[in-house]
Structure 1
Amino acid sequence: MRNRMTFANVVGILLENSNKTYPQHLLIRNLFSECLDDTLPASEILDGERIEYSRWCTGARPVTIAIINSYEPDNWDTMEADFNDKILPNLLNPINARTQMEKLITDCTDTIGQAVADELLSYTDDAEFYTMTVRYTILNNHHNGNLYSPDLSDTLLSSRVPSHTKEFVGRKAELKDAYTKLSTSTPLFITGIPGIGKSEFAKTFAEKYRRKYTNIIFLHYTGSLKKCVAGMEFDTDNSQMDEEALFQAHYDVLKTLHSDSLIILDNFNVLPKDDGWMKEFLKNDFQLMVTTRCRITSFETLEIKELEKEKELTDLFYRHCPSAKSEPDTVKQIIEVLHAHTLTVCLAALAINASGIEPEELLQELNTCGLNADISEEVELYKDEEFDQALLIEHLRKLLQFNHLNNTEQDILRNLSLLPVSGVRKRSVRNWLQLKNLNDVNHMIGYGFVTEDTENKTISLHPLIQQIALLETMPSVTNCITLLHTLHGICLVHGLDIRRPEEVLSTLVNINERIIVDAPEDYLLLLQDEFPYFEKYGVTDALTDLDIVNIT
């Protein structure tokens, strides 16, 4: 039987019966005034401290041993005085609070034992009763065998959750459902068609429940789960570690994580059996959320469907384009034409807002959208009666209208289509493309062409937009020569002892997979210096699939 006699439940009763003007952080600081300064104004309480207090109150983490040591063995009179002078005066209904606390103790008799229950209930003075009850719970939390994860906030230098969109609407029931399912079953696969908002859902979930977890780690799947783990960056990494050594070191850390930590694996668009290492990854104790286009039958799933048209999607449209509120009928028709698809609805709103065209003009263009017979799916991962990949691609083409971009903007998109979907730092893009400024990049962010992650200071293309950009801009050695020359220069200084340059390595791999080789001589010059560069960082398989014969 689960022991409900925890600090989280005890402090929960105090908070439930306290004055509404008595915040959680002040209750905690009053409770542990021996260690925490309870005279500080609310404006001086750091976000990290608030998060830590919240985790104590939700049971995600135990009260730190340093606080316990400051009260043990005979300093509990200080806490009793704090109850009398600071906490009890802030209880709106002290009688009800005591009644609830006594009921909690009685209900837990089978797990804490009759002797402990009788001892706690024997204290007639309220301050003494609460002090001894708190003492029991915080000591028991450390002695009951619960496992807690190490806090990686100071050691993990990458894999932070990307910034979530402020325009996110709806999904309240799904967010709650996801939390419940993760609490009882892991992994949880978030499924749905491309562009419906699975990744944004995962990022919003992480923001909403961040105080519930000691760590939240965000991994972008790139075709190999082991490579995702190896590509993480810890402060203990060094340039002498090859990919296998990095993987082992990083995985040893991940294996120490427990259910108070969450890993989000984004864009895992293969079946679990198709990644040979997923089976091993699932043996761990941490919670795991996976976003995927695949239909999953062997694990717990939560399908993300289209938002409700009349309210949620319309609200989403207006958040991106407030001026369209004056034409609700046209907006409704645009949403219908776009089959209530989240990404295309957002891009439609952004197109109107950024370009200044009238909603009626955009509607007319969408209605005349014809399918391109050359479009075909490489792999159909997820499809139902409401979804047509080819039509989606054509709508996106119409909304993006690459031919309306100036030459610089088209060139930027062409190069961005070669970068990893996990993103590259904004300043790196400026340096690699030798841009005078980022005005054109920022302009395309406003249109929705480019996604900016302000949390990690990176930019990227949505996978669907990247697919279209590759088709429309046809990146080749000749028209991406500035990017290639810059990266070539980086390869030439591979002897410098710097921290592992993951974004450069990932970009080079992508270029080798996607670029059109229309100038073999220039491309081979890059390749000959890529080999020692990859070798320097132990990426031994990066060039094994290249068909050098056909290139030459």
Structure 2
Amino acid sequence: MTGFPCIGKSEFVRAYIEKYGSQYKKIGYYFYNGSLRRVISNMNSEVPVSLSDANDDLYIGSLNTLRTLDESTLIVIDNFNIGVEDDECVDDIPKLKCRVIFTSRRRYEGVTTFRLNGISKNDGVELAKKFFDNPTPLDEFRLSGIVCMLGRNPLFIEIVGKMLKKGGCTTERLTFELLAGDYTKYDQKVTFTKDGKLMKESLIGVLINMFGFSELSELHRKVLCMMHVAVEAPIRKDAAIAMFGLNSVQPIDDLIDAGFVSETSNGMIQMSHFISEIVFSVLKHDKNTCRELIDRIRLIGNDESIQYDFGDIRNIIAEFAFFPIVKPASEAVEVAYDCFKFFWRMHDVDRMEELNQRTFALRGLSEPRQLAIQELEEAAIEAEKRNYVKALEIQKNALEKIMALDDEYLKAEAAGSYAYYLDLSDTADSTEELYEAYKRSIELFEGLDLDNGEKVEECRVITRYAHLLLMTCKTDEALA
């Protein structure tokens, strides 16, 4: 039986035993303690056996006893939160004739698995109300949302209900903080029972301990942080490997097995909103943690010649554009512009519009460079919609701002787009005006030391100018 930590796996098994226990002659319930050898050795011993004492004779004797049992015996091994390859005695269990149930937060293949996904929303609200006395109708409405945002996890709901009862927070504040994806402020400790033990801990403390973040390597933590680009929509595993700068698929598969990441049958992977918010709260990642991903996205945004080397990365870039880890706002706008250019080259006007609106509507930008980038994007969107006159007008305003900046490449790029919109809008007073507009951009490019992506942009302007020359019967100049 698998599922997220604290989702109720152990309670479910106990409920099963309570209801169907009469069908069994013998029932054994054990907690995994790091070694099946020790667990099995202790089954037939009156004195607790340590791992060092769990010799072959004790183990084989207990195992032989288990082999004599049939389906009238039920064995439960709780909290088996490791891979099947990580315990030397796992292979002995399937050979038994008795019934065996493992509970684990991990994913397994090749065994019969039942995944527990949490309680219903209504049951979750009723559970919270057991601890939170006499909620108002508005509180009940908020509780239904809180239950869903907590992944319908019974223990988390119980903790929140007790927090509300103790007055450490309100349903309004809880809703606000959960929507923001921040669990760190839930540091009020409450008492609850877990695995038969009385515990006192805060919600954030439970999340850190139960999800095993301390057991993750630095590489696994970095991959988890970068998996935030696969929350709204799944991404291909091979694309994730390339974009995350990984040498193999193993770190991703490890996180799938550990239950942090889900996998579909066609090689797509995704992280749930619930897990992403926990990861964001606990690991507190920043742009340095995700540096490999940021660098690759910016590289692809600026060099279309390599974008297909990474596979289908549209969902990754669309999600990353709104990833709230790149700060300050000035840098975030630059990164978002690189993402915008990726979709611009693919003529994906819907994503261009979404990215533009979300980048600038949520920020009170006033710097000339940021305002110019906003206008560059708006002009590109209008051009994609074939509103070339409007695109030209917006581009002209942007170009005026850019010419006052200390960025020669942006000047050349913006001048090239201006010439293109002027050409398509049929508003030039003369062909000579078009020639001059293109030559202005080309001259700006010629004075620069360009990287591969920038050379592609220069070639685009030159090609458009050559096409104009060809269409105006200047074949020799076009060929030159």
TM-score by length of 1: 0.33
Greater helix content: 2
Tell me: higher relative CO, structure 1 or 2? Use CA pairs within 8 A at least 6 residues apart: 1
Q: TM-score, normalised by structure 2?
A: 0.38
Give the number of the structure whose alpha-carbon radius of gyration is greater. 2
